[in-house]
Amino acid sequence: MNRKNLIWGLLVALAIAAILSPFASPSPDGLERVAEDKGFLHLAEGKELIHALMPDYVFPGIASEGLATSLAGLVGTLLVFAAMYLLSRVFVRPKGNAGKGRS
Amino acid sequence: MHIPDGFLDPKIWVGASAVSAGALAAAVSNTRKVLEDRQVPALGVMAAFIFAAQMINFPVAGGTSGHLLGGALAAILLGPWSAGLILTTVLVIQMLFFYDGGLTALGANVLNMAVIAPWVAYGTYRLLGGLFRGNAGRTVATFLAAWLSVMAAALACSLEIAFSGTVPLAVVLPAMLGWHALIGIGEGLITVVVVSFVSRLWGLEQPGQKSYAGGEQL
């Protein structure tokens, strides 16, 4: 595992999020399906506690549904990478802690 | 399997959040001991990959879909503690920016997908990896670890919903396990393919080896 492999890994993740996401199955997932069949899906409706920027993985203000999903995927993938990277740096390997492992 | 707001009652989501917080604190302190600076980017890439893969719902049967959870994938390649941090990061971003999974249900979702799934996968993988040797054995161990991790998460999810008084356990449990037995096959196949590809890249050959990318004993 070196820098090149990591960049490739990130590119693969971005490609999946951007290119494959518009072709994802729109059917309900396992839990949603069970909630629908067993009659408790309505409990989740109208219970929104936060106002998310891209609900249902749709980037706001884009007419094309596929493009909106691709963009949401790209933004989300980069956000997750950045958040994970920064959190690891801050909490797991804070400065001054460096050298504890054999880096 | 992201639980939305409205399915869980306060005693369940507060309880699940407390357990998850404890598990996360343990994950931070354990990864702190083993993670090296140069391994930090691998956690970011794994988290990004799992987020992207979770967007790709695949049809299973009868108008139902599933997607990769990734708990087994992260646990087998990077170790269960790192996997917990990775899946938690994915779940928090999904909740905050996409409202996939509820705010009050975050603790329960973390418990099911970031704690239970990786540990069940890791335990199964280590156990079976010790029983069957060789490449075929590793493939079987990886597949079953991934399948069981989905079933365990579905079981936990059913218990949380049932004990919240939302729907009786006898109703929700068979339905959840039934669908997730199918979704788990997809999880198993994707996990086997990605694990075999990445472990060749990283030179991981058997369980018990130290992960080059994550620092944890696998």
Q: For the segment B145-179, what is each residue's pLDDT rounded down to a tens digit? A: 999 999 999 999 999 999 999 999 999 999 999 99
Q: What is the mean pLDDT of chain A?
A: 87
- Determine the pLDDT at residue A14: 97
The answer to the question of residue B211 being in a domain is no
Chain B contact for A53, CB < 8 A?
yes
Chain B contact for A28, CB < 8 A?
yes
- Determine the pLDDT at residue B206: 63
The answer to the question of residue B2 being in a domain is no
State yes or no: pLDDT of B130 exceeds 90.
Answer: no
The answer to the question of residue B31 being in a domain is yes
Chain A contact for B147, CB < 8 A?
no
The answer to the question of residue B20 being in a domain is yes
- State whether residue B57 is helix, strand or coil: coil
Residue % of chain A over a pLDDT of 90 = 66
CATH of the domain at B134: 1.10.1760.20
Chain A contact for B3, CB < 8 A?
yes
- State whether residue B59 is helix, strand or coil: strand
Question: pLDDT tens-digit profile of A25-49?
Answer: 999 999 999 999 999 999 998 767 8
Smallest Cβ–Cβ distance between A81 and the set B34, B48, B99 belongs to B48
The answer to the question of residue B209 being in a domain is no
- Determine the pLDDT at residue B205: 67
Q: Which of A70-79, A89-98, B20-29, B109-118 has the lowest mean pLDDT?
A: A89-98
Chain B contact for A63, CB < 8 A?
no
Q: Which of B21-25, B53-57, B197-201 has the lowest mean pLDDT?
A: B197-201
Q: For an interface test with A, which of B30, B33, B49 has the most A Cβ atoms less than 10 Å from its Cβ?
A: B49
- Determine the pLDDT at residue B209: 72
- Determine the pLDDT at residue B37: 81
Residue % of chain B over a pLDDT of 70 = 98
Cβ–Cβ of B97/A40 closer than 8 Å? no
Helices (H) and strands (E) in chain A, counts: 3, 0
The answer to the question of residue B78 being in a domain is yes
Chain B contact for A4, CB < 8 A?
no
State yes or no: pLDDT of A94 exceeds 70.
Answer: no
Between CA A37 and CA A8 the distance in angstroms is 42
Which residues in chain B have Cβ-Cβ distances shorter than 8 Å to A93?
Answer: 32, 35-37, 40
Q: Which of A35-44, A79-88, B34-43, B66-75 has the lowest mean pLDDT?
A: B34-43
Q: Which of A97-101, B14-18, B191-195 has the lowest mean pLDDT?
A: A97-101
State yes or no: pLDDT of A101 exceeds 50.
Answer: no
- Determine the pLDDT at residue B204: 72
Domain around B104: 10-202
Give the minimum alpha-carbon distance from B191 to chain A in angstroms, rounded to a whole number. Answer: 15
Number of structural domains chain B divides into: 1
Q: What is the mean pLDDT of chain B?
A: 93
Cβ–Cβ of B49/A9 closer than 8 Å? yes
Helix, strand, coil percentages for chain A (3-state, nearest 5): 60, 0, 35
Give the mean pLDDT of B186-191: 97
- Determine the pLDDT at residue B58: 97
Q: Are B151 and B177 in contact (CB under 8 A)?
A: yes
The answer to the question of residue B193 being in a domain is yes
The answer to the question of residue B210 being in a domain is no
Between CA B46 and CA B57 the distance in angstroms is 18
- Determine the pLDDT at residue A100: 45
State yes or no: pLDDT of A103 exceeds 50.
Answer: no
Which residues in chain A have Cβ-Cβ distances shorter than 8 Å to B99?
Answer: 48, 50, 52, 55-56
Residue of A57, A99, A96, A101 whose CA lies nearest to A79: A57
Long-range CB contacts (within 8 A, 24+) of A10-14: A10/A81, A10/B44, A10/B45, A10/B48, A12/B49, A13/A77, A13/A81, A13/B45, A13/B48, A13/B49, A13/B51, A13/B52, A13/B53, A14/A74, A14/A77, A14/A78, A14/B48, A14/B52
Give the mean pLDDT of B92-115: 96
